[in-house]
Amino acid sequence: MIFEQHYLDCLSQASYFIGDETSGRAVVVDPRRDIAPYMESATEHDMSIELVLETHFHADFLSGHLELAQATGATIAYGDKAVTEFDSRKLAHGERISLGEVELEIRHTPGHTPESISIVVYEKAGDAEPYAVLTGDTLFIGDVGRPDLLSSKGVTSEELASQLYDSLHQQLMTLPDSTRVYPAHGAGSACGKNLSTETSSTIGDQRTQNYALAPMDRDGFIAVVTEGQTAPPAYFAYDAVLNRENRPIFDETVPPNALTLAEVVRAQRQGAIVLDTRDPNEFSAGHLIGSINVGLAGRYAEFAGGVIQPGVAIVLVADEGEEMESKIRLARIGFDNVIGYLDNPLVVFNANLDDVARSSRVDVAAMQAAMDRLDCVQVVDVRQPGETTGGVIPGAQLIPLTTLNKQLASLDASKPTIVYCAGGYRSSIAASSLAAAGFRDVSDLLGGFGAWEGAGAPVAGRDGSELAATN
């Protein structure tokens, strides 16, 4: 058996290539949209990809099932509760798929979504114990799939959490303790709240170490898994729908077009977003007026999808040679409308200073001075709720970056505004988004809350109560 985990750090997303060396037949599970790694694996092992298995309709990325099917002729398959616009094979609970000696068993494990399945992998069909189980978003390392993403579709989080309880205890925890666990996501993913940095485990270890598998009744389980979930990025609903549809195929070999400044400005005036993927410090030193900064070095696609509306035309500003990566990573969440990139941005900026703005990044001392001098300073904390339990900057409004666009009306665009996050990456995204939305005076805090707390500056509780300074 060939068993490969393909892990994508920028989305904390795992996909799998499983092949049988005796038959040369292979499957890919939960593929990302740029499919070259799977094609390379098939060539390396002299195998044919015959089946693309999806554990569920993903919300955090646009899957590559259509791309793989077109490239290889493979059949796309889901659990039989899934309804797709494109042709797909429906897999019954308990169904076995033979690749030769290697055999896969399908288990229906609803809870994260109604159509979720897990895939039990046997190295040889007659083995008494399985080699592994691919758990999709049902069971993570240290966590379980969040059951609240379909609340807008008329399915309550309590209903799905109840299904998740049964799936875990009646399907996954009945597997031998030695069974390896391979989930679809790891730490950083918004599909759960407590995911481990480990990308695999065993059923036995999860039985004893996973908080959601501790002894508890159904009501206790429902309470613990529905409490404290983060606000998901705005694009999740878009991707969950798009993964069901017969949407356009992405060609990862076609680079974006180079554009002149005049072409970029014209596109911007017609509604395009200028997305600057450079480091926040480079962005602050000079950028095209009205552009939004989401640094390529971070969780770029996830945060871009949180502040840019799906379908909007996008013009990239990137460091030389990173235009293609910027485009591909957007395509991984279904943001395909990249109309080009600004050619030679630094040269262009230096030659057209009237079109360029600098952004303000303040240190802790400067922020304290501004707050002491001006009563009207508007402080915005864009961290997730779980991050703010340890304290906030006094007077801050708590607006997670993932919900910033929806809550713009709660902020006063005429007031001096200082934005902060944990370390400074997300605050640059938020500050640039506010500036693009017409806020007149926006800064972000260098080093974020970590720098503020480390300097011994005053810290308040989420309820506004005063907490002791750390130094």
Report how far residue 428's alpha carbon sits from residue 287's, in angstroms, rounded to the nearest whole number: 13
Between residues 388 and 386, the one the model is more confident about: 388
Look at residue 462 in the predicted model and tell me its pLDDT: 73
Closest to 144 measured CA to CA, from 122, 118, 111, 121: 111
pLDDT at 106 over 60: yes
Average pLDDT rounded to a whole number, residues 76-105: 97
Judge whether 334 and 238 are in contact, CB under 8 Å: yes
Look at residue 471 in the predicted model and tell me its pLDDT: 40
CA end-to-end span of the chain, whole Å?
A: 56
pLDDT at 470 over 70: no
Report how far residue 144's alpha carbon sits from residue 135's, in angstroms, rounded to the nearest whole number: 10
Look at residue 153 in the predicted model and tell me its pLDDT: 66
Task: Summarize pLDDT for 404-438 with one digit per residue, the tens.
Answer: 988 999 999 999 999 999 999 999 999 999 999 99
Q: Report the side by side order of strands in the sheet with 258-259.
A: 258-259, 338-342, 314-317, 273-276, 292-293
Look at residue 395 in the predicted model and tell me its pLDDT: 93
Lowest mean pLDDT among 33-42, 212-221, 223-232: 223-232
Average pLDDT rounded to a whole number, residues 296-323: 94
Task: Summarize pLDDT for 166-192 with one digit per residue, the tens.
Answer: 999 999 999 999 999 999 998 777 777
pLDDT at 338 over 70: yes
CATH topology of domain 2-242: Metallo-beta-lactamase; Chain A (3.60.15)
Look at residue 386 in the predicted model and tell me its pLDDT: 83
Look at residue 192 in the predicted model and tell me its pLDDT: 76
Q: Report the side by side order of strands in the sheet with 25-29.
A: 2-8, 13-20, 25-29, 48-53, 75-79, 89-91
Those residues with Cβ within 8 angstroms of residue 216's Cβ, 6 or more apart along the chain or in another chain: 224
CB environment 369-398: b (16+ within 10 A), e (fewer):
ebbeeeeebbbbbbbbeebbeebbbbebee
**Exposure on the CB side of residue 243, measured as CA atoms within 13 A:** 29
pLDDT at 151 over 80: no
Phi and psi for 304 in degrees, rounded to 5? -60, -40
Task: Summarize pLDDT for 127-142 with one digit per residue, the tens.
Answer: 999 999 999 999 999 9
Let me know if the fold of 258-357 is the same as that of 360-467.
yes
Structure-token pair, residue 291? 């552009």
CATH topology of domain 258-357: Oxidized Rhodanese; domain 1 (3.40.250)
Look at residue 469 in the predicted model and tell me its pLDDT: 47
Mean pLDDT for the chain overall: 94
Please report, rounded to a whole number, the percentage of residues in the chain having pLDDT higher than 90.
87
Those residues with Cβ within 8 angstroms of residue 162's Cβ, 6 or more apart along the chain or in another chain: 111, 218, 222
Judge whether 230 and 384 are in contact, CB under 8 Å: yes
Average pLDDT rounded to a whole number, residues 309-338: 97
Per CATH, the number for 360-467 is 3.40.250.10
Lowest mean pLDDT among 16-25, 93-102, 233-242, 456-465: 456-465
Q: Where are the domains of the chain?
A: 2-242, 258-357, 360-467
Task: Summarize pLDDT for 235-280 with one digit per residue, the tens.
Answer: 999 999 999 999 999 999 999 999 999 999 999 999 999 999 999 9
Closest to 54 measured CA to CA, from 244, 203, 196, 306: 244
